[in-house]
Amino acid sequence: MSNNTLPHYKLLIDGVWTDGASARSMTTINPATGEAWASFAMAEAEDVDRAVKAARHALSKKEWGGLTPTQRGVLMHKLADLLEQNSEALGEIETTDSGKLAAETKSQAKYVASYYRYYAGLADKIEGHTLPIDKPDMHVFTKPEPIGVVAAVVPWNAQMFLTATKLAPALAAGCSVIIKASEIAPIAILEFAKLIEKAGFPSGVVSVITGDAEGCAIPLTSHPDIDRLAFTGGPETAKHVIRNTANNFAVTSLELGGKSPILVFDDANIESAANGIIAGNFGASGQSCVAGSRVYIQREIYSEVIARLLEKTAAIVVGNPLDASSHIGPLCTLAQVEGIERALEKAKKQGGKILAGGVRLNDLGSDYYFAPTIVECPVHDVETLHVELFGPVLSIACFDTEGEAIALANDSEFGLGSGVFTENLARAMRVSQQIQSGICWVNTYRAVSPMAPFGGVNQSGYGREAGIQAIQDYIRVRTTWISTSSEPMGNPFVMR
């Protein structure tokens, strides 16, 4: 199919669907076939500036800035309803664009509606306070106000979820938002933008753009009129983003990479632990920032857990992600596949042993498929134990004591997710509180909820998304002092 016959997606800027200022476009690849399936417009600096100016203007217009919090909540409920109604179509588009399993993309598109409903309910629960001030004849109160114009930078993986964790609290707080979708597989977010329009949000409140770093990402994150930046991506890109915010002093949150540990103690339910490990690492083909890609197993049950994992891995069906019988689809980009191959070759030289997988599956329609892989690591400096590979590669090592397990879990520059499998409640409490991560799952893995904060420490970033606190991150507090005295204000040069 030539580029001229591909479906073409435009940018949504100030309520208008438009090609970028330079009319540049990119094509996006269906990983299941390795072929281009759609094209999309690329934003330039001029487009970014138009989107930001429209967002600033929307804050002062009565159609948005004049709405009550309850009225904002009504619009968000409409958006949630539309998401549920269109989740099947959105999921299929995301699967075609990214290669993620359709069962997951469809259910995720439907589930994120609960994030918009959760924050719709919080919109009119944000309260100011009257302060018991220490000065006589003064009435002092605070009033919550929207922080302003928000830039939400979203990656291609889990894009509906990672958009919701930014957009939902921002809209509830009364902000306006520019969503920057990844230039890799952005079509689902561009389709989602149609639902934002259909829900009735005024023009300029939400713009959706995408493009490369020079034309889009850098002008957006460094734009002087951005008040808040919510970024999900890799640590190296985040370093550039932080430098860019020197131009606007935007309040910034970073949700970055991970190399999450899972600890399996000798009193664990082995079936539960094995299922948690499989789900935590091979779910979404390992393309998850919280993937539990390094597993530490206590020596007494090491062989038994390995055997169970090999059995379950052998039963995984790798295939077309739109096929309901598939468990794992292709990876999103060839760069991921090639990076995994290089890492595995290095791991073998460092003493790692490939117990399962380790190869491309070239007979499935494209070069993007990679077999679920288990690497046994007899020494702890094997690279796959430390580098985020963003694919279905699980690294396993052994430990003897609880203290050793905690030390191994914390031997990482990342700190996003973690998992603990044990039937000992006291141990679960001790260990979960000592692992340096923003999230710890005990006897489960990869569970999320709009009520539960999500975020990391160290190289996994800072700030939290989801939960009640997140809406406060999109608010500024105005303090008002009112003198209630009937006397004139005193001489300012006479100190009392």
Instruction: Find the CATH number of the domain harbouring 51.
Output: 3.40.605.10
CA distance 251 to 450: 22
Based on the domain organization, do 349 and 292 belong to the same domain? Answer: yes
Based on the domain organization, do 241 and 304 belong to the same domain? Answer: no
Based on the domain organization, do 470 and 405 belong to the same domain? Answer: no
Among all chains, which residue has been given the structure tokens 């989107």? 51
Q: Is residue 495 domain-resident? A: no
CA distance 87 to 338: 32
* Residue 455 near residue 256, CB atoms below 8 Å: no
Based on the domain organization, do 116 and 179 belong to the same domain? Answer: yes
Q: The domain containing residue 335 runs over which residues?
A: 261-442
* Residue 431 near residue 263, CB atoms below 8 Å: yes
Q: What is the pLDDT along the chain (496 residues), one digit of tens a residue?
A: 445 689 999 999 999 999 999 999 999 999 999 999 999 999 999 999 999 999 999 999 999 999 999 999 999 999 999 999 999 999 999 999 999 999 999 999 999 999 999 999 999 999 999 999 999 999 999 999 999 999 999 999 999 999 999 999 999 999 999 999 999 999 999 999 999 999 999 999 999 999 999 999 999 999 999 999 999 999 999 999 999 999 999 999 999 999 999 999 999 999 999 999 999 999 999 999 999 999 999 999 999 999 999 999 999 999 999 999 999 999 999 999 999 999 999 999 999 999 999 999 999 999 999 999 999 999 999 999 999 999 999 999 999 999 999 999 999 999 999 999 999 999 999 999 999 999 999 999 999 999 999 999 999 999 999 999 999 999 999 999 999 999 999 898 987 6
- E-strand stretches of 348-450: 353-356, 373-376, 393-399, 419-421, 441-442
Q: Is residue 77 domain-resident? A: yes
Based on the domain organization, do 236 and 287 belong to the same domain? Answer: no
Instruction: Find the CATH number of the domain harbouring 381.
Output: 3.40.309.10
Q: Name the catalytic one among 255, 376, 383, 465.
A: 255
Question: Residues near 473 by Cβ (< 8 Å), separated by ≥ 6?
Answer: 147, 169, 228, 251, 253, 463, 464
Q: Is residue 141 domain-resident? A: yes
State yes or no: is 255 an active-site residue.
Answer: yes
CA distance 164 to 130: 32
Crossing angle between the packed helical segments 187-199 and 87-98, to the nearest 10 degrees: 160
Based on the domain organization, do 286 and 238 belong to the same domain? Answer: no
The number of domains in the chain is 2
- pTM as predicted: 0.95
